[in-house]
Amino acid sequence: MNISSETIRQRFKDQGLKNTPQRTAIYKALVETTSHPTAEDLYQHVSQDYPMISQNTVYYTLGVLQQAGLLREVNVGHDRARYDGNLTPHHHLICHGCKSIVDVMDKKLNKISCPSGLPSGFHITDYQIEFRGYCQACRPQTA
């Protein structure tokens, strides 16, 4: 999905973030992919346009954007962090083999009722379902 510089500028402004070319490029790259890239992936991608960019900037920017609520982290194992710029509520499908992450946009999954037997005083803010399995390419031979 494409996103205009104007939209990005506005979102940054709304969150009180300064608008720099590097930050814009990182955010744009993240929003326009569904691959749930790592910091390294984003660094590689943005480096094409900004060869002087440092990894630090990528990490710092991702931290700032996360704090501003403009992205989410997605976890696959305890590996390197992966990022998602899609803020529409959705879930994920993760391939055990290649660790790819696919969005699951099925809306009926957003209506799960609060589980029973919670510790008293615990307040749930949100939830996420992680489906796991094998994509076509990684499917075991026996399947």
Which positions touch DNA (CB under 7 A)? 12-13, 17-23, 38-40, 50, 52-57, 59-61, 63-64, 78, 80-81
Which of 71, 102, 75, 100 is CA-nearest to residue 84? 71
Q: d(Cα 98, Cα 61) in Å, to the nearest integer?
A: 27
Q: Which does 97 bind (CB under 5 to 8 A by kind): DNA, a second copy, none?
A: none
Q: Helices 39-47 and 21-31: crossing angle, nearest 10°?
A: 120
Residue 138 Rama label (left phi>0; alpha psi -120 to 50; beta): alpha
Of 2, 88, 120, 142, the one binding a second copy by CB under 8 A: 120
Q: Is 139 in the site for a second copy (CB under 8 A)?
A: yes
DSSP state of 38: B
Q: Which stretch binds a second copy (CB under 8 A): 1-9, 19-27, 55-63, 113-121?
A: 113-121
Nearer to a second copy by Cβ, of 4 and 116: the residue is 116
**What is the distance, to the nearest Å, from the Cα of residue 138 to the centroid of all Cα atoms in its chain?**
23
Is 142 near a second copy (CB under 8 A)? no
Which residues sit at the interface with a second copy, rule CB under 8 A?
A: 73, 75-82, 91, 93, 95-96, 102, 104-106, 108-109, 112, 115-136, 139, 143
